[in-house]
């Protein structure tokens, strides 16, 4: 049975699971589904089309399921589905998908601290941590166990790989490969996220493979096609194999920060046919 504060406004067409607690001045619209054991603090707003899993904790002033912030004033939009056991702190905003047939998705066991914004059509994995005021643009994809420092911003349509660490105030405008740390504005890769990998249970053998793959990508000065082929030949399985899969799925990637070097790991359709295109270019 749900416990609902008298000042809360809950539509009779909403579905609340067992042991749900709804705090003062909350608003829950028609069509909202809340799983067992969720706790909503005061002034939480859940808009139509929102589905919460079990055991989520929603902080004061959070708004989940509002329509997309988009220049086109189209239909109300799609849905938003949130997994289980997330901690969503004060004033977090998560928007529903822009088109009615689409869905914004947030996984399980994530922590979004005060003021985090997740825009329409984002797909967020599991065990993701976003510190205060992190901003995710529309259609951003974040893989499992990525971590974002305070006030980091991720541009729309960008991807962030598993176990990546994005530093505070970092401006991400290109895809961030898995397992790396990035920092700066715009972001640059500064090494492997060794602390995050150890905390995630990565063993010594796999860590060594990741180091070797990292050196291949950023230090061997291989051409794009040669780099991908070598990655797939030398690291066909295990965690390091995720590098080539990630690169095959995009076209512009954050480069390593190196002394006297600039440029980015970038490949466009017109360049991909050029076997001699360098992975990085000197400033």
Of the candidates 120, 153, 183, 196, the residue annotated as catalytic is 120
Domain assignment present for 247: yes
- Strands 135-136 and 111-112, how do they pair? unpaired
Round to whole Å and give the CA distance between 63 and 49: 13
3-state SS of 79-120? EEEECCCCEECCCCEEECCCCCCCEEEECCCCEECCCCEECC
Is position 61 annotated as part of the catalytic site? no
Is position 150 annotated as part of the catalytic site? no
**Residue keyed to tokens 């003062």:** 24
Return the pLDDT at 73.
Answer: 76
Round to whole Å and give the CA distance between 179 and 168: 17
Domain assignment present for 52: yes
Is position 95 annotated as part of the catalytic site? no
Domain assignment present for 37: yes
Residue range 156-190, pLDDT digits in tens? 999 999 999 999 999 999 999 999 999 999 999 99
Residues 120 and 237 reside in one and the same domain: no
Window from 12-26, 209-223, 252-266 with minimum mean pLDDT = 252-266
Total domains, the chain: 2
| Phi, psi angle pair for 172, to nearest 5° | -95, 115
Is 0.85 topped by the overall pTM? Answer: yes
Residue range 258-279, pLDDT digits in tens? 754 444 455 444 444 444 444 4
Residues 9 and 86 reside in one and the same domain: yes
Of the candidates 55, 59, 65, 138, the residue annotated as catalytic is 138
List the one residue out of 170, 195, 149 whose CA is nearest residue 257: 170
Residues 39 and 136 reside in one and the same domain: yes
Domain assignment present for 194: no
Window from 196-200, 236-240, 241-245, 274-278 with minimum mean pLDDT = 274-278
Structure-derived torsion over alpha carbons of residues 261, 267, 273, 279, reported in degrees to the nearest 10: 30
**Residue keyed to tokens 């090494």:** 191
Domain assignment present for 50: yes
Confidence grade of residue 72 (pLDDT, cut at 50, 70, 90): confident
Domain span including residue 93: 3-142
What would the mean pLDDT of 128-147 be, rounded to a whole number?
98
Give percent of the chain above pLDDT 90: 87
Residue range 73-132, pLDDT digits in tens? 777 899 999 999 999 999 999 999 999 999 999 999 999 999 999 999 999 999 999 999
Domain assignment present for 175: no
What secondary structure letter does DSSP report for 55?
Answer: S
Picking from 142, 160, 192, the residue at the C-terminal end of a domain is 142
DSSP string, 209-269: HHHHHHHHHHHS--BHHHHHHHHHHH--SSTTHHHHHHHHT-SEEPPBP-TTB---EE--T
Picking from 142, 175, 196, the residue at the C-terminal end of a domain is 142
Domain assignment present for 164: no
Domain containing residue 73: CATH number: 2.160.10.10
Residue range 53-66, pLDDT digits in tens? 999 999 999 999 99
Structure-derived torsion over alpha carbons of residues 73, 79, 42, 144, reported in degrees to the nearest 10: -120
Contact in structure between 162 and 125 (CB atoms under 8 Å): yes
Of the candidates 53, 83, 121, 167, the residue annotated as catalytic is 121
């Amino acid at each position: 049975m749900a416990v609902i504060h008298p000042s809360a406004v809950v539509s009779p067409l909403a579905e609340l699971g067992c042991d749900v607690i709804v705090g003062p001045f909350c608003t829950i619209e028609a069509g909202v589904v809340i799983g067992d054991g969720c706790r909503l603090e005061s002034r939480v707003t859940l808009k139509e089309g929102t589905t919460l899993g079990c055991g989520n904790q929603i902080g004061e002033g959070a708004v989940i399921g509002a329509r997309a912030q988009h220049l086109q004033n189209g239909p109300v939009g799609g849905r938003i589905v949130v997994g289980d056991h997330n901690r969503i702190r004060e004033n977090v905003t998560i928007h529903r998908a822009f088109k009615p047939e689409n869905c914004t998705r947030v996984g399980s066991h994530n922590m979004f601290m005060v003021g985090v914004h997740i825009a329409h059509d984002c797909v967020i994995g599991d065990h993701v941590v976003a510190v205060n005021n992190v901003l995710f643009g529309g259609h951003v994809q974040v893989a499992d166990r990525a971590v974002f420092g305070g006030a980091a911003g991720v541009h729309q349509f960008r991807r962030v790989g598993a176990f990546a660490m994005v530093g505070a105030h970092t401006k991400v405008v290109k895809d961030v490969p898995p397992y790396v740390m990035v920092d700066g504005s715009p972001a640059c890769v500064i090494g492997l996220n060794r602390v995050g990998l150890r905390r995630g249970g990565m063993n010594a053998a796999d860590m060594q493979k990741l180091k070797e793959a990292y050196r291949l990508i950023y230090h061997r000065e291989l051409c794009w096609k040669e780099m991908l082929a070598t990655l797939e030949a030398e690291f066909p399985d295990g965690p390091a194999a995720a590098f080539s899969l990630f690169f095959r799925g995009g076209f512009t990637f954050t480069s390593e920060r190196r002394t006297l070097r600039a440029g980015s790991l970038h490949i466009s359709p017109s360049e991909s046919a050029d076997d001699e295109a360098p992975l990085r270019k000197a400033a």
